[in-house]
């Protein structure tokens, strides 16, 4: 599934699971969750970073390729990326819980320690390693299987 085909949970319509932002007032819990996401995106640097990553073929980019576009150091760019990642992951968790989904699973390459740490911080735990299950740049790679079980659903 490409970026253009992603289904947005919570959108009104035949595939929607719950009321959208414009059709019903937000309850307090949902407004708190959305405020976190909007707060993380309320920064021109983070919006530009998101746009640069999303518009890149394959959706992959190294922080070293992003840094020259800004008058900021690499650690500062990394900090903005971390906040952006947390906001997007929090939004995913909130949308799955609103849809009544109890478990989220993901696979991450073992050397992607930043992503593993980000997911752990969001409540994911390691289930195990699947050997040679993910293909990256034509090479079959091991993938760490992680999951998060909702304390609110189930």
pLDDT (tens digit, 9 = 90+) per residue, 64-74? 888 888 899 98
Helix/strand/coil for 86: helix
Residues 84, 124 within the same domain: no
Closest to 9 (Cα-Cα) out of 33, 28, 32, 41: 33
pLDDT in tens, 30-43: 777 777 767 767 78
Give pLDDT tens digits for 73-116.
989 998 888 888 888 898 889 888 888 999 999 999 999 998 99
66/138 same-domain check: no
pLDDT score, position 47:
84
- Is the whole-model pTM more than 0.85? no
pLDDT of residue 13: 47
As a whole number of angstroms, the distance between CA 104 and CA 148 comes to: 5
57, 86, 101 - which closes a domain: 101
Q: What is the DSSP letter of 100?
A: T
| Domain that residue 115 falls in | 103-154
């Amino acid at each position: 599934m490409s970026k253009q085909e992603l289904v947005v949970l919570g959108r009104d319509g035949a595939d929607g699971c719950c009321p959208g932002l414009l059709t019903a007032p937000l309850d307090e819990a949902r407004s708190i969750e959305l405020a976190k996401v909007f707060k993380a995106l309320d920064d021109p640097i983070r919006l530009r970073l998101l746009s640069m990553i999303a518009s890149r073929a394959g959706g992959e980019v190294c922080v070293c390729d992003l840094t020259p576009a800004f008058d900021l150091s690499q650690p500062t760019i990394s900090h903005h990326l971390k906040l952006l990642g947390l906001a997007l992951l929090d939004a995913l968790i909130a949308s799955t819980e609103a849809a009544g989904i109890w478990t989220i699973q993901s696979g991450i390459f073992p050397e992607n320690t930043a992503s593993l740490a980000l997911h752990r911080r969001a409540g994911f735990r390691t289930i195990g390693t699947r050997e040679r299950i993910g293909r990256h740049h034509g090479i079959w790679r091991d993938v760490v299987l992680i999951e998060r079980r909702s304390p609110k659903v189930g």
